[in-house]
Amino acid sequence: MLLHEGGWCMSNLVGLDEVKAVYNGAEGDLWELIMGHQIHIGGFRSSMDLSERAGLAGAKHGVDLCCCNGAGMRFLVRFRNVQKMTGVDAAKTVIDRGRDRCFEEELDKQIEFVHSDVTHSSLPDNYTDFVWGEDAWCYVVDKPALIREAARIVKPGGKIAFTDWVLGNVSMSDDEIRRYLSFMKFPNVESLEGYPKLLEASGCEVIEASDTGRFDPYVDLYLDMVDKQLTYDALRILNFDTAMLGAVAGEMKFLGELARAGKIAQGRFVARKKG
């Protein structure tokens, strides 16, 4: 485990293959059961808040980097009147699922998917009006490359708007950060101060970098849902392994404790590409 500028990393213990395995398998299904199609803290409310702060209503085209099943794109097209969205993700299972869901919701003409590493999307320079992300960039190994890619594909004057799991203002111990990164399969994690530095280094003006304050109450909500309503559904995903479900619940409680202590947070970031 190594300290880097802005955050912590797990050295070579977690990479893209491990992250893809999460969302191509049971872990991804479990997260979706608990959090819904919008697999990020705050769901619809968080998406609406981020889009309003970034002023994205009525935009012609956006790119969702780490788009997962495309729920964020469907939200933007349906509720923010964005005309077209392109989603990029490295996990084939969620790409296939996203295409099916867009077809079912009759949004497939406005939403397209690209199966690719988000740090090398192959999309053209100055391609889009805005770049979008929701609680997913924490899974990307090379965050400086990700931010450079976002800045490369967005048009001058365009927005980069995202939420992500970040370090809080209170330091974690080595054991805490190791447990946190290992459970979440995060290769590394940035901070509220780290992302703005990366954005500025990529030619962007930072408009907002803040803590949403949502983390710990939503973790409590997810635990309550599994305990009171979704126990059987969660066990079914985990092949009815009660010990595994208990272990997952224990790690979720640990996340809540970290959040309440100010050690982790959901960060919200809005930036504008200069030029």
Cβ–Cβ < 8 Å for 101, 74? yes
Asked whether residue 112 is assigned to any structural domain, the reply reads yes
Q: Is the pLDDT of residue 190 over 90?
A: yes
**229 secondary structure, DSSP code:** T
- Structure confidence at residue 29 (pLDDT): 87
CATH number at residue 145: 3.40.50.150
Structure tokens at 92: 């084939």
* Burial classification of residue 246, based on how many CB atoms lie within 10 Å of its CB (0-12 exposed, 13-18 middle, 19 or more buried): exposed
**173 secondary structure, DSSP code:** P
Helices (H) and strands (E) in the chain, counts: 11, 10
* Burial classification of residue 74, based on how many CB atoms lie within 10 Å of its CB (0-12 exposed, 13-18 middle, 19 or more buried): buried
**271 secondary structure, DSSP code:** E
pLDDT (tens digit per residue) in 4-48: 445 544 444 555 565 445 455 678 789 899 999 999 999 999 999
- Structure confidence at residue 25 (pLDDT): 60
Q: Would you place residue 75 in the very low, low, confident or very high pLDDT band (cuts 50, 70, 90)?
A: very high
Total domains in the chain come to: 1
Q: Would you place residue 195 in the very low, low, confident or very high pLDDT band (cuts 50, 70, 90)?
A: very high
Asked whether residue 223 is assigned to any structural domain, the reply reads no
For tokens 């809080």, name the residue: 168
CA of 123: how far to CAs of 63, 70, 117, in Å?
10, 18, 11
pLDDT (tens digit per residue) in 257-275: 999 999 999 999 999 999 8
Share of the chain above pLDDT 90, in %: 87
Average pLDDT of the residues of the chain: 92
Asked whether residue 10 is assigned to any structural domain, the reply reads yes
- How, if at all, do strands 188-189 and 84-89 pair? unpaired
Q: For residue 193, which phi and psi values (nearest 5 degrees)?
A: -90, -25
Residue range of the domain that includes 126? 2-29+42-168+186-213+265-273
Asked whether residue 175 is assigned to any structural domain, the reply reads no
Asked whether residue 237 is assigned to any structural domain, the reply reads no
DSSP per residue, 53-117: HHT-TT-SEEEEET-TTSHHHHHHHHHS--SEEEEEES-HHHHHHHHHHHHHTT-TTTEEEEES-
This prediction has a pTM of: 0.91
CA–CA gap between residue 165 and residue 184 (Å, rounded): 10
Structure tokens at 141: 């190994």
Helix 92-104 vs helix 16-23: angle between axes, to the nearest 10 degrees? 40
CA of 69: how far to CAs of 14, 32, 102, in Å?
22, 10, 9
Q: Would you place residue 1 in the very low, low, confident or very high pLDDT band (cuts 50, 70, 90)?
A: very low
CA–CA gap between residue 24 and residue 62 (Å, rounded): 25
